[in-house]
């Protein structure tokens, strides 16, 4: 197998293209990061920002930068990365461009669980933050399981479009249930929940970065190691079945991984949809169909997307803020419609 050891020129070219894309995205993220640091209710000039970053700023300046803006931006990037990878995995395993953690009810399930959880505590600040990703995962997993069962038909298996349809319906049902239940919450918890659902990155605190980071550090590399499995699954069910029943097991494992990552993200960011839809798509346009490339690049695209959305949300109508979830929906929904018009089945 000599041709496996020697990379063809087209492969080399592809790799160079991917590296270039990664570099470009990195530069874009850095630029946005710097702009985002300057954006907000209290303006800091670029020099002030730099000075403060190196520890020479006034106390107020470093408070704004290190305790408010930085953690929030780090969370935006991490959540964007997680949601994008989760979306890439989902699209790979159901082989449908419309699959996305928000659309298929993961956000709603996580929201319901988080809501039930915080209603046991007098105030939100009493609730232990580090447990939230687990709680969100239980809700998201429950919702995903219900959707999976309901869209399964004997002899036909899971049809992607039925999966998306069931997801939309379950999300509507859970939303309704949440509205009915919210009336029993006290005002402070209610306010928290309302902002949570709208998808503002509310956890602007290093505590939340710490709560989210381990999940991503463990599961994103794990998903990356499954790239070749994803490549096979994307080829189509016939090919995958030909390779043995063990593909069905891999498909389930990947589904669980995607739910875990999305749930962890959503538990700190709130209901942000469409990132997992847009980012993998743009990425496929940039680097092709290989998941070895799609996963890292779509993580970068997702991080960039959510960072930009959050920054725009802070900048557009100061002093009030628009939740990043709204901005992403305004960009994402037309994109979804465009894809819907393009897909055939």
Which residues lie below 8 Å from residue 300, measured CB to CB, with a gap of 6+? 22, 25, 26, 29, 81
Q: Which residue has the tokens 């962890």?
A: 264
DSSP code at position 236:
-
User: Based on CB atoms, which residue is closest to another protein, 175 or 292?
Assistant: 175
As a whole number of angstroms, the distance between CA 74 and CA 337 comes to 30
CA 6 vs CA 117, 238, 266: distances in Å: 55, 30, 43
149 part of the interface to another protein, by CB under 8 A = no
As a whole number of angstroms, the distance between CA 230 and CA 295 comes to 10
63 part of the interface to another protein, by CB under 8 A = no
Write the Ramachandran bin of 236: left for phi over 0, alpha for psi from -120 to 50, otherwise beta: left
- The interface region with another protein, picked from 10-18, 238-246, 288-296, 334-342 by CB under 8 A, is 334-342
As a whole number of angstroms, the distance between CA 102 and CA 262 comes to 9
- The interface region with another protein, picked from 5-13, 39-47, 228-236, 324-332 by CB under 8 A, is 324-332
- The interface region with another protein, picked from 40-48, 86-94, 164-172, 234-242 by CB under 8 A, is 164-172
Contacting another protein (CB under 8 A), which of 129, 168, 209, 247? 168
Contacting another protein (CB under 8 A), which of 20, 23, 31, 176? 176
235 part of the interface to another protein, by CB under 8 A = no
Minimum distance, C-beta of residue 164 to another protein, in the bound complex (Å): 6
Contacting another protein (CB under 8 A), which of 166, 189, 234, 298? 166
- Contact by Cβ (8 Å): 137, 260: yes
Contacting another protein (CB under 8 A), which of 50, 68, 173, 232? 173
As a whole number of angstroms, the distance between CA 21 and CA 3 comes to 26
329 part of the interface to another protein, by CB under 8 A = yes
User: Based on CB atoms, which residue is closest to another protein, 209 or 331?
Assistant: 331
DSSP code at position 138:
H
The H or E element that residue 157 is part of is strand 157-158
344 part of the interface to another protein, by CB under 8 A = yes
Contacting another protein (CB under 8 A), which of 20, 42, 63, 340? 340
* 87-146 positions binding another protein, by CB under 8 A: 98, 103
320 part of the interface to another protein, by CB under 8 A = yes
CA 279 vs CA 37, 54, 199, 283, 305: distances in Å: 23, 33, 18, 6, 8
Minimum distance, C-beta of residue 29 to another protein, in the bound complex (Å): 24
Contacting residues toward another protein, per CB under 8 A: 98, 103, 150, 153, 161-162, 164-166, 168-170, 172-173, 175-177, 179-180, 183-184, 198, 273, 317, 320-323, 325-326, 329-330, 332-334, 336-337, 340-345
């Amino acid at each position: 197998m000599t041709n496996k050891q020697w990379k063809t020129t087209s492969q080399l070219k592809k790799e160079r293209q991917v590296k270039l894309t990664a570099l470009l995205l990195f530069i874009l993220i850095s630029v946005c990061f710097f702009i985002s640091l300057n954006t907000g209710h209290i303006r800091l000039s670029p020099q002030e920002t730099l000075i403060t970053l190196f520890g020479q700023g006034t106390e107020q300046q470093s408070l704004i930068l290190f305790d408010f803006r930085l953690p929030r931006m780090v969370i935006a990037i991490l959540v964007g990365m997680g949601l994008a990878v989760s979306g890439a995995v989902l699209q790979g395993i159901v082989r449908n461009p419309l699959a996305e953690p928000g659309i298929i009810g993961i956000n709603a399930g996580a929201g319901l669980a988080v809501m039930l959880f915080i209603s046991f505590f007098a105030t939100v600040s009493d609730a232990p933050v580090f447990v939230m990703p687990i709680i969100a995962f239980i809700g998201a997993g429950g919702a995903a399981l219900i959707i999976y069962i309901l869209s399964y038909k004997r002899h036909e298996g899971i049809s992607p479009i039925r999966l998306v349809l069931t997801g939309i319906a379950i999300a509507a049902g859970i939303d309704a249930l949440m509205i009915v239940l919210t009336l029993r919450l006290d005002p402070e918890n209610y306010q928290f929940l309302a902002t949570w659902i709208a998808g503002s990155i509310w956890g602007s605190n290093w505590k939340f970065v710490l709560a989210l980071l381990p999940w991503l550090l463990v599961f994103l590399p794990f998903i990356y190691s499954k790239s070749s499995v994803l490549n096979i699954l994307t080829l189509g069910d016939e090919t995958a079945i030909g390779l043995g029943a063990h593909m069905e097991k891999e498909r389930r494992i990947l589904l669980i991984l995607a739910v875990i990552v999305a749930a962890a993200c959503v538990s700190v960011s709130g209901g942000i949809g469409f990132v997992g839809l847009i980012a993998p798509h743009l990425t496929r346009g940039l680097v092709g169909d290989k998941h070895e490339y799609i996963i890292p690049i779509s993580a970068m695209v997702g991080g960039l997307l959510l960072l930009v959305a959050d920054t725009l949300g802070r900048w557009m109508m100061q002093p009030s803020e628009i939740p990043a979830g709204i901005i992403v929906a305004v960009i994402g929904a037309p994109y979804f419609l465009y894809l819907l018009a393009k897909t055939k089945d």
